[in-house]
Amino acid sequence: MAFGGSSTSFTLPHTHNQTLVNDGGTLSTTLTDMGAVTLFSLISGATDPQTAINTAAIATNVTNISTNAANIATNTAAIAALPTAAWSRIVNQTQTGGSANFNVTGLTSTSKYMMFTFAGQFGGNDQLRMRLGTGGSIDTGTSYKWACGANGTYSTSPGDTSITVNSANFEVGRNFFLSGFMQWNAAEDGSGTASSRIGNIQTTGAQGGTYLKFNTGFEYLESATPITDVRFYANGGNDLNGTLNMYQSQD
């Protein structure tokens, strides 16, 4: 098929089924060159099959976007409900001496777990003990079990009136350092009310110019809830001073 550029040009008769000069080639070749999608689009009222595929894909994406938006909203709410801190300090108490007892009273925590740190000194060579209580009363009965190790040598008591934190004297005027963790107001599996409490204390202090390390595991055989009172005291009656911090868990 030929087109002229002037008034003398004309179109030769053609059938699109010959390969003659100026005839435009065979019809099969022309259709192949156009492609199936282009041909399909030339049919009156026909819908491009790719359009249908794209429309279905768009619908699927819209559904996925809606689902993702719902998941994001759920996760955002869950994140907002998380505690702002795993532990919060509830005691920061300092004592400058004048008593062998270091008392914390009136605690209202019902959390499952408690951590504590204590940096202190004795007014004379002494050992540290710990007791617990409820309702303003310190338990001095035989409700305590403990095992205390000093540099690998252990002593134990199956039923005592206190928890032995260190079983050897620390020197007068030398700092001792203590950190502990215990089950506070929950059963051992972390649920319900405690039938007893278990815990561990790490302590370091000086004796004879040498620092001793103590590891004390303990159990308090008392189910009274909640624990409201804690007492650290000098076993030999010397003054006890220092700073105690206690931290409660968020649940």
Domain holding 122, by residue range, is 87-249
What is the per-residue pLDDT across 35-45, written as a single tens digit (0 to 9) for each?
555 555 555 55
Domain co-membership, 48 together with 167: no
Q: Which of 74-83, 104-113, 234-243 has the highest mean pLDDT?
A: 234-243
| 190 has pLDDT over 90 | no
Q: Is residue 185 part of a domain?
A: yes
Confidence at 217, pLDDT banded by 50, 70, 90? very high
Give pLDDT tens digits for 141-163. Answer: 999 999 999 877 889 999 999 99
Q: Are 73 and 222 in contact (CB under 8 A)?
A: no
User: Do residues 117 and 240 share a domain?
Assistant: yes
Q: What count of other Cβ atoms lies within 10 Å of the Cβ of residue 223?
A: 12
CATH number of the CATH domain containing 203: 2.60.120
How far apart (Å, rounded) are the C-alpha atoms in residues 89 and 192? 23
Domain end (from 81, 100, 116): 81
Are 105 and 220 in a shared domain?
Answer: yes
Query: Where among 53, 81, 109 does a domain terminate?
Result: 81
Residue 220 near residue 144, CB atoms below 8 Å: yes
CA distance 242 to 226: 26
106 and 224, same domain (yes or no): yes
Q: Is the C-alpha dihedral spanning 216, 219, 225, 230 positive or negative?
A: negative
Give pLDDT, residue 1.
Answer: 47
- Say yes or no: 142 and 231 in one domain: yes
Domain shared by 71 and 97, yes or no: no
Own/partner pairs for 209-213, CB < 8 Å, 24+ apart?
212/150, 212/151, 212/166, 212/168, 212/170, 213/150, 213/151
- CA–CA separation, 248 vs 48, rounded Å? 67
Asked, for residue 7, whether it belongs to a domain, the answer is: no
One domain, residues 60 and 171? no
DSSP tag of 13: P
Cα-Cα end-to-end distance for the chain: 88
142 shares a domain with 72: no
**Strand ranges in the chain using DSSP code E only, listed in sequence order:** 87-95, 101-104, 113-122, 128-134, 137-138, 144-150, 153-160, 163-164, 176-183, 197-207, 210-220, 229-234, 240-249
Q: Omega before 13 cis (within 30°)? A: no
Q: Is 120 in the same domain as 232?
A: yes
Distance of CA 196 to the CA centre of its chain: 26
Residue 1 lies in a domain: no
Count: domains in the chain: 2
Asked if the model's pLDDT at residue 24 lies above 70, the reply is no
